[in-house]
A and B are shown apart, each in its own frame.
Chain A
């Protein structure tokens, strides 16, 4: 648990293994909410919050329920269960205590409930860190860090994409390419650019 490990997780999660552009997770929200910068940023913040919390909760579920009962193979279904209920719970709390926050983030929370990126983080964490060789505290810190950095990578790409699409609104695009098709083409070009990061592995 030294500095290089932290650094490799941070850079790896944000750039090299960027969830949207390298792992192709969370694409529905990536295309759906990237038309304007502001909602894209709010969505990114919500996703970061949920991925961080989901990493912590799934760590607890895996290590304190699944491992003692020897039912690690039920990982998928139990993670889905816990993430979905957690997001629902957060939505209720926000709705009760901050109407302003609910108006900005609330509409995105149901989208995150079924977002594959959130589930992807949990699975990735369990594959990378929840091993007999790594002690509990290390795996906890690294999972939380990875959850947070995946969120940061998501925000980064959402901001890129929404910035490009805002400018696209003013461009002369052939009618058949308008809206989604041109967004897909741009996404693929950006994805190829991000694949360049795999060149320097840490």
Chain B
């Protein structure tokens, strides 16, 4: 009876002591600031910052790998708190808003009749969706479904419309869209190009009445703020001047694919 008891106790004792000793040798010092930053963050673990959770973000912020303002749904108050903990100043973060870069929807023609699951991700698996335009919105509203703030709704044309007052710029819709139509743009931009098609003008005209045909009118009118590359107009906001004629550009665009934000 004595031998089993002794052996087990000795084994347990040895392993226990070994682990205790090992934990001393292999101790990893955790910065107490990380804990404080975790408490300052909203703690929703929403993943909008691109990290797995608030704890990971806190670690990245303290390690200098992420900005103090990296928490997407966080308010100025949160940023101030974190900056206070780290003892650094912060740059005022520009508000981001989701921008839907397609205006075709029901108006653009179909390639085939899709009768599967009513989801963009599902339709996209079948030859890139049922739209003739391979860049365009499929219109099943995956972005509407995923939006945690109820800021996206489909309009009558099956094109998602972002409610600027509700959108926090978390970027969940950007990841949900299989066509990568949605981007995060600065909230104070005046206009943006609501098309993604790199097809030639003639092709675009034949399949969608609302696509950019690369006519370069915007380029001439704006004095180089808009650039047509690869048959698609793009706005370079860094070149915008106070007297850039935004209104004229919007009005003169023949397919009305440049829109007010």
Contact = CB atoms under 8 A, between A and B. Distances in A.
Interface of A: 65-66, 69-71, 74, 77-78, 81-82, 85, 88-89, 92-93, 95-96, 170-172
30 contacts: A65-B7, A65-B11, A69-B7, A71-B3, A71-B4, A74-B4, A74-B8, A77-B8, A78-B8, A78-B11, A81-B8, A81-B15, A82-B11, A82-B15, A85-B15, A85-B16, A85-B19, A89-B18, A89-B19, A89-B22, A92-B19, A92-B22, A92-B23, A92-B26, A93-B22, A95-B26, A96-B26, A96-B28, A170-B117, A171-B117
Instruction: Report the contact-size class of chain B (Cβ under 8 Å from the partner).
Output: 20 to 34
Contacts of A92: 19, 22-23, 26
Interface string B222-259: 00000000000000000000000000000000000000
B24 to A, nearest CB: 10
Contacts of A89: 18-19, 22
Given A69-B4, A71-B3, A85 B26 contact: no
Nearest to B125: A170
Q: Is the interface of A mostly helix, strand, loop or mixed?
A: helix
Nearest to B14: A85
A70 B3 CA distance: 9
B83 interface: no
Contacts of A70: 3
A196 B144 CA distance: 45
Given A92-B22, A170-B122, 18 more contacts: A65-B11, A66-B7, A69-B3, A69-B7, A71-B3, A71-B7, A78-B11, A81-B11, A82-B11, A85-B15, A85-B19, A89-B18, A89-B22, A92-B26, A95-B26, A170-B119, A170-B125, A172-B117
Contacts of B122: 170
Contacts of A77: 8
B148 interface: no
A95 B30 CA distance: 12
